[in-house]
Chain A
């Protein structure tokens, strides 16, 4: 089983550990609902070092990324910025979702943990014609500081003022690694992609400051409440970005840019494709992946489901027929329950309801 450099710290904090794609990771340190609310109301710190870090080196790195990445890397060229998007296969199916970090000429990628070997082969295969070196940065750790108080805490953790000045998706160099204003919770926050010893320092300081450690269970309910997709649940190689709620990350604006998957996507009528919608269960219970949705206007299936601590109701993401809207029923243990189909930005839903 793989272990991050913070493994011992998790055990000391009495985390319940779980096998996550071959990594022994903290599921929670007590109550996942308490951890969830700590991130929504104050701040929390996450060890997400199981995720994969690549660094790309070569004069034609931008051309390479312009070819393999479906969002347009030109948006962050010569800027210290991060950009979210997907890599696609030739049929337009999603191989992975990832963030590319551009910082002072460096290009780094953070992608999922379960897709590591697949991505490594894919990048290396396509990097040959651009003479780009694809390096796995296994000796790095990734730590996320997330929550409304993240900005106050960061100055104390890294002891440099400029980190709190980063704008959304901004990136800066830090001790041989990077700090970026990115995250996966729907809250303000920062992510550190740093050498292991720096990662341990950051973690220890955060814990000393009383910032709550957050496990993967709360990470999942936080991302789902924010309407953020999870690879393997809400998207995979069998579906293209338009039927995965990620049409906004596909950039066709430069007609010259022949990225992998473009030709296939251009043949698709995105208006009639299936779509991803948010789902709120009107009754008590919890939506789970695989539950079927039905209505007069179409049908669908739950991809991810959880209990939303903010809405105090079960929420989920579902892939449904394009014409399906407003209301549907879901079958749970052979019984029918009512659901509302809503924007997947559940946090905004909460503000509307209040």
Chain B
């Protein structure tokens, strides 16, 4: 299992959020999530401009085994999506915390970060 980068915040449903220097937030799914899903063959990304609510459905990831919803850790507006994943969904398996990011949002309210898990609490929640 890959080490979880310490600067990430998590939903217990396995999405991570990273606050970038410009105040935007990048979102992806955890190493644990990609491992549970197995080989990912399809990612359906949201449209740029879409408004998301915290813990609202944002994207869909399908592995050979199962389809799974991806929820947004924070509320905000989609400002970019990782279109590389459309033709190369396996990047999510290979690099869940870096190249395999899903989308970026302009957050409405950074106070919502307090509701997310830090890396350590998230790791504990995966062991339960």
Contact = CB atoms under 8 A, between A and B. Distances in A.
Given A217-B64, A221-B64, A306-B64, A28 B38 contact: yes
Given A217-B38, A285-B42, A333 B62 contact: no
Nearest to A220: B64
Interface in A307-345: 307, 314, 333
Contacts of B60: 333
Contacts of B35: 16
**Highest count of chain B CB atoms <10 Å: which of A32, A221, A284:** A284
A309 to B, nearest CB: 9
B64 A307 contact: yes
Size bracket, chain B contacts: 10 to 19
Interface string B26-46: 000000000100110110100
A178 interface: no
A288 interface: yes
B96 to A, nearest CB: 14
Contacts of A288: 67
B42 A33 contact: no
Nearest to A332: B67
Nearest to B90: A33
Contacts of B41: 33, 286, 307, 314
B50 interface: no
Contact of A284 (B39, B42, B65, B67): B42
A31 B39 CA distance: 6
Interface string A191-229: 000000000000000000000000001000100000000
Contact of B62 (A16, A28, A285): A285
Interface string A28-51: 100111000000000000000000
Contacts of A333: 60, 67
B19 to A, nearest CB: 31
A32 B38 contact: yes
Given A285-B62, A333-B60, A32 B39 contact: yes
B82 to A, nearest CB: 15
Contacts of B38: 16, 27-28, 31-32, 217
A284 B60 CA distance: 12
B62 A33 contact: no
A288 B39 CA distance: 16
A298 to B, nearest CB: 26
Nearest to B65: A217
B127 to A, nearest CB: 16
A296 to B, nearest CB: 28
A185 to B, nearest CB: 16
A307 B93 CA distance: 16
Nearest to B64: A307
Contacts of A32: 38-39, 64
Chain A CB within 10 A, most for which of B35, B41, B62, B93: B41
B39 to A, nearest CB: 5
Nearest to B62: A286
Contacts of B93: 31
Nearest to A313: B41
Given A285-B62, A333-B60, A33 B67 contact: no
A16 B67 CA distance: 19
Interface string A86-104: 0000000000000000000
A16 to B, nearest CB: 8
Interface in B72-108: 86, 93
Contacts of A221: 64
A167 to B, nearest CB: 33
A269 B45 CA distance: 47
Given A27-B38, A285-B44, 20 more contacts: A16-B35, A16-B38, A31-B39, A32-B38, A32-B64, A217-B38, A217-B64, A217-B65, A221-B64, A284-B44, A285-B42, A285-B62, A286-B41, A286-B42, A286-B62, A286-B64, A306-B64, A307-B39, A307-B42, A307-B64
Interface of B: 35, 38-39, 41-42, 44, 60, 62, 64-65, 67, 86, 93
16 contacts: A16-B35, A16-B38, A27-B38, A28-B38, A31-B39, A32-B39, A33-B41, A33-B64, A284-B42, A284-B86, A285-B62, A286-B67, A306-B64, A307-B41, A314-B41, A333-B60
Which 10 residue pairs spanning A and B have beta carbons closest together?
Answer: A307-B41, A33-B39, A286-B62, A307-B64, A284-B42, A32-B39, A31-B39, A285-B42, A306-B64, A32-B38
